Amino acid sequence: MTVTAVRSKVNLTPQLEIAGGRQLSGEVAVSGAKNSALVLMAACLLSRDTIRLRNVPPLTDIAAMADMLSSLGVTVQASDEAIELSGDRINSAAAPYELVNSLRASFFCIGPLLARMGMARVPLPGGCQIGTRPVVEHVKGLKAMGAQVTIEHGVVTAVVPGRGHRLKGGRIHLDCPSVGATETLMMAAALADGETVIDNAAQEPEVVDLAGLLIAMGGRVRGAGTPTITIVGVDRLHGADYAVIPDRIEAGTFLLAAAITRSKLRITPVIPEHLGAVITKLEEAGCRIEHDGIGVNITARQINAVDLRTQPFPGFPTDLQAPFMSLLATAKGTSVITENIFENRLQHVAELQRMGAAIRMQGNTAFVEGVARLSGAPVQGTDLRASAAMVLAGLAAEGITTVRGLEYLDRGYAALEHKLNAAGAQISRVEAA
Ligand code: EPZ
């Protein structure tokens, strides 16, 4: 009987089985940045020409974005080296609910769709495990550029009134430095009539990467990576061939894998400026980290407690809060970790406690008292980064840890277990009843 047939009879769930206590060594390769590739793919809607993106990670989220763009009429051709997206025959400005609901980032398409088509209908992305994920700033900014926006029955409809249906440049002040809102509005402004200034913009490297692509397409963008971004709209954007930056969150996850197993590891490629806060915290915790222009070498022996407060870039990234907590659960001393970005991004605490972690919660703050050894247990990843945190904890734990929630993990990590096994870990992907 095939696995599929068995699975249809018994409720089989894929999980990772991790034998803890092994040190890592050698070199780990970092893939392209998921949170950059997704928005760069959406930018293809701005041009009739072909956008060729290299270093795109092979992730389920990338496939979901490709499906979403195809549903709008974009031609998508993926190969091992690159993804080619041609927006010359867009035949719809209405994104399907089931695709937006499965991939929050597809909501960002509302910006380029509106700029290109003069209208867009995109379902509200809805919340997820880590928070309500509002899109108030995205909508506010589009209105500031002249769009009429209504939200009915869970669908955002945006229309540019008047002749030519062209957005107008405007001045936008974001109440919070939302990454998605910044990116959505940059794409909308790229084809608008006149100049748009976004104040209190997000400064994440993925925002800078989007600016790089827009400029390669003939766009006029300056100030990306600072709190004020200025975009002067152009009449059209041409094709481009562009490489996605390395994934700083994946790289940070591997740095933490080395630290939690007290190993010496080389991780490449890494752009150190993208991981400043993380590297500083790891050095504060006792790791030695050197960068040689391409990658970083980390050596971890004794790990001491440190305090973390997640902040917008260049502060400590919320996406590495859970993985870093796994490390601090094994540190010497008590760490204080405060999650300031998302309202519900501490669900991994309960799973770490199942492995013997000594953590006390107070609102959005976790007091983590390091223990000598975590103990292997069956645990569940509750979101993408929490799943990664459980894998890290399993690497260091005594005995076997089984991690469920791979549907989250595979969204953000390309072949995580293969990369870690190549560095000496012992992880297998199994089906369990
Ligand atoms: C991006 O999400 C990333 N996703 C997230 O990565 C990342 O955690 C997040 O930025 C913060 O760095 C992608 O880029 C695809 P935000 P985004 O809008 O754009 C609040 C991962 O694990 N907010 O910057 O949705 C919001 O509620 C994912 O790879 C408002 O209040 O994040 C949140 O608390 C998870 N009003 C905070 O801002 C708004 O209108 C940050 O959200 C918009 C956002």
Task: Give pLDDT tens digits for 44-71.
Answer: 999 999 999 999 999 999 999 999 999 9
- Shared domain check, 92 and 43: yes
Q: Determine the distance separating the centroid of ligand 1 and the alpha carbon of 126, expressed in angstroms.
A: 12
301 lies in the same domain as 199:
no
Please name which of 162, 240, 230, 157 lies closest in space to residue 197, comparing C-alpha atoms.
230
pLDDT band at 433 (very low <50, low <70, confident <90, very high): confident
Q: Which of 196, 224, 243 is the last residue of a domain?
A: 243
Residues 22 and 65 placed together within one structural domain of the fold: no
Cβ of residue 178 lying under 6 Å from some atom of ligand 1: yes
176/279 same-domain check:
no
Please give the pLDDT value at position 125.
85
Which protein residue's CA is at the shortest distance from atom 14 of ligand 1? Answer: 35
* 2 assigned to some structural domain: no
Contacts of residue 183, defined as CB under 8 A and 6 or more positions apart, other chains included, come to: 39, 108, 111, 202, 206, 207, 210
**How many domains are there within the chain?**
2
136 lines ligand 1 (CB under 6 A): yes
| CA angle (12 as vertex; 9, 16 as ends), nearest 5 | 165
Asked if residue 67 is part of any domain, the answer here is yes
User: Is the pLDDT reported for residue 2 higher than 80?
Assistant: no
CA of 178 to the centre of ligand 1 (A): 6
What values do phi and psi take at 279, rounded to 5?
Answer: -65, -40
Which residues make Cβ contacts (< 8 Å) with residue 422, sequence separation at least 6? Answer: 26, 28
361 Cα to the center of ligand 1, angstroms: 23
394 inside domain:
yes
Residues annotated catalytic, as ranges: 128
Report pLDDT digits (tens) over 256-295.
999 999 999 999 999 999 999 999 999 999 999 999 989 9
Write the CATH number for 403. Answer: 3.65.10.10
Q: Which atom of ligand 1 is nearest to the CA of 139?
A: 40
Any domain includes 1: no
Residue 408: predicted pLDDT: 92
pTM, 2 dp = 0.96
| Tokens coding 156 | 């955002």
Is residue 415 within 8 A of residue 391, CB to CB? The reply is no
Instruction: Specify which residues 18 forms β-bridges with.
Output: 401, 427
By most ligand atoms within 8 Å of CB, the mutation choice from 341, 348, 409, 411 for ligand 1 is 341
Q: Specify if 19 maps to a domain.
A: yes
**Is there a domain that residue 3 lies in?**
no
Give residue 200 CA to ligand 1 midpoint distance, Å: 14
Share of the chain above pLDDT 90, in %: 87
What is the CA(400)–ligand 1 centre distance, in A? 34
In the structure, what pLDDT confidence band is assigned to residue 1 with cuts at 50, 70 and 90? low
Query: 321 and 231 in one domain?
Result: no
pLDDT > 70 fraction of the chain, expressed in percent and rounded: 98
113 occurs within a structural domain: yes
Q: Where a domain ends, among 243, 263, 286? A: 243
Over the stretch 233-264, which tens digit does the pLDDT of each residue have? 999 999 999 999 999 999 999 999 999 999 99
96 shares a domain with 53: yes
Give the confidence band of 9 by pLDDT, cuts at 50, 70, 90: low
Query: In this predicted model, which residue has the larger pLDDT, 122 or 133?
Result: 122
The verdict on the CB of residue 181 being under 6 Å from ligand 1 is yes
Domain boundary among 243, 273, 294: 243
Are 166 and 149 contained in the same domain? yes
Structural domain range at position 143? 34-243
Instruction: Please say whether the beta carbons of 366 and 334 come within 8 A.
Output: no
Centroid of ligand 1 to alpha carbon of 210 (angstroms): 16
**What residue owns the CA closest to ligand 1's atom 41?**
178
Q: Is residue 44 in some structural domain? A: yes
105 Cβ closer than 6 Å to some ligand 1 atom:
yes
Residue nearest atom 38 of ligand 1, based on CA coordinates: 178
Query: Across all residues in the chain, what is the average pLDDT?
Result: 95
pLDDT at 404 over 90: yes
Give the pLDDT of residue 249.
98
Same domain, 50 and 115: yes
Average pLDDT over residues 332-359: 97
Residues in the chain: 433
Region 150-154: what's the mean pLDDT?
92
Residue 214 confidence (pLDDT): 98
Q: What is the pLDDT of residue 420?
A: 98
- Burial class from Cβ neighbours inside 10 Å (0-12, 13-18, 19+) for residue 145 reads buried
Peptide bond into 317 cis (omega under 30): no
98 and 230 assigned to the same domain: yes
Answer yes or no: do 219 and 291 share one domain: no
The reply to whether 239 and 337 lie within a common domain is: no
Pocket flag, ligand 1, residue 387 (CB < 6 Å)? no
Q: Which comes out higher in pLDDT, residue 382 or 126? A: 382
425 C-beta closer than 6 A to ligand 1: no
Shared-domain flag, residues 171 and 62 = yes
Q: Check whether 7 has a pLDDT greater than 60.
A: no
Query: In this predicted model, what pLDDT tens digit does every residue of 164-174 receive, in sequence order?
Result: 889 999 999 99
Report the candidate in 66, 56, 164 with the shortest Cα–Cα distance to residue 117.
164
Does 135 contact ligand 1 (Cβ within 6 A)?
yes
